[in-house]
Amino acid sequence: MIEIRDVTKSYGSNAVVDRVSMTLPAGGLTSIIGPNGAGKSTLLSIVSRLMPMDGGQVLVDGLDVSRTAGDVLARRLSIMRQDNHITARLSVRDLVTFGRYPYSKGRLTAIDVEHIDRSIAYVGLKAFEHRFLDELSGGQRQRAFIAMVLCQDTDYMLFDEPLNNLDMKHAVETMKLLRRLADDFAKTVVVVLHDINFASAYSDRIVAMRDGKLAFEGAPKDMIEPSRLQAIFDVDCRVHAVGETRLVNYFE
């Protein structure tokens, strides 16, 4: 369980995250949605201790992220940021191997190697494992980073806009992969998403943020609803039920 209590982050007088409190239960896939500048990525960075907070507290399974040793937390929680520009020239396998760093500190055991092989195979990059990252397509590179998080094998996995720059096919593949992490491996997956329909189709829970505050949270069937979407995004839209899934038409 991730407990976020009164978390605040401001730049000057502008509060990017404004006293947000929420609880993300263990298990399942939670999407965080909201307009640009709502504070979604900032909140994710704070939860994963990449960014210090100005006030408040975040507990991951009771561990205070500001106080817990880096490598202890790295075995509980991992994050994939949206901007994964790496200057170092590493192969896919090298990259995924560093997902084991919290356990191995650079000296691999047989268990580490097993995790590495499994993660690479899981994202379908076995044939590319010795390629350098700068020799891959955007979708393949994204999957390599997912494999790294996978290899880190933490209970909590956070993804900041993992669908950025992906075409339709790779976006769907990526979301299915994240869904399987929750279903097959009982991981707690938290994803910042821009595409409301992906959030609707793949989430167990949706959290909506606006102006640095928590706006709404709930199951997709409660969240994907015209008046709420209007309140979150300022956009008029219609919602259609297609089978079990509610799809949002905001084009007309």
Partner 1 sequence: MKPLLIAIPFILLLAVISVLTGVGSLASGLGGDGRGWLLIVESRVPRTLALMLAGTGLAVAGTIMQMLARNRFVEPSTAGTAESAALGMLLTMIFAPALPVAAKMAVAALTALAGTALFLKILRQIPLRSALMVPLVGIMLGGVISAVTTFIAYRYDMTQSMGAWISGDFSGVLRGRYELLWIALVLTLIAYVTAARFTVIGMGEDIARNVGLDYNKVVTLGLGIVSMVTATVVATVGMVPFLGLIVPNVISLVVGDNLRRTLPLIAATGAGLVLACDIVGRIVIAPYEIPVGTVMGVIGSVVFLYLLLSRRAHAG
Assess 220 for contact with partner 1 (CB under 8 A). Answer: no
Shortest Å distance, C-beta 190 to partner 1: 14
Of the candidates 70, 184, 242, 243, which one interacts with partner 1 according to CB under 8 A?
70
Shortest Å distance, C-beta 175 to partner 1: 21
Of the candidates 12, 62, 106, 243, which one interacts with partner 1 according to CB under 8 A?
106
Of the candidates 1, 55, 66, 75, which one interacts with partner 1 according to CB under 8 A?
75
Please count the residues of this chain forming the interface with partner 1, following the rule CB under 8 A: 32
What's the token pair of residue 20?
């947000």
Q: Which CB sits closer to partner 1, 62 or 106?
A: 106
3-state secondary structure of 215: strand
Tell how strand 2-11 and strand 14-24 pair up.
antiparallel
Assess 12 for contact with partner 1 (CB under 8 A). Answer: no
Q: Which CB sits closer to partner 1, 118 or 131?
A: 131
Residue positions counted in the chain: 252
For helices 168-185 and 138-152, give the axis angle rounded to 10 degrees: 10
Alpha carbons 2 and 68: distance in angstroms, whole number: 14
* CB of 2 closer than 8 Å to CB of 58: yes
Q: Which stretch binds partner 1 (CB under 8 A): 43-51, 197-205, 211-219, 232-240?
A: 43-51
Q: Which stretch binds partner 1 (CB under 8 A): 70-78, 175-183, 185-193, 194-202?
A: 70-78
Q: Of all helices (H) and strands (E), which one includes residue 59?
A: strand 55-60
Cα separations in angstroms, 147 against 1, 7, 16, 150, 196? 23, 30, 31, 5, 25
Assess 231 for contact with partner 1 (CB under 8 A). Answer: no
Q: Which stretch binds partner 1 (CB under 8 A): 6-14, 31-39, 65-73, 235-243?
A: 65-73
Per CB under 8 A, contacts with partner 1 among 161-190 are none
Angle of CA points 152, 208, 30, to nearest 5°: 30
Give the chain's count of helices (H) and strands (E): 10, 12
* CB of 15 closer than 8 Å to CB of 190: no
Assess 71 for contact with partner 1 (CB under 8 A). Answer: yes
Alpha carbons 88 and 85: distance in angstroms, whole number: 9
Of the candidates 1, 26, 72, 241, which one interacts with partner 1 according to CB under 8 A?
72
Of the candidates 11, 12, 36, 88, which one interacts with partner 1 according to CB under 8 A?
88
Binding-site ranges for partner 1 (CB under 8 A): 48-50, 69-75, 78-79, 81, 84-91, 94-95, 98-99, 101-102, 105-106, 132, 134, 152
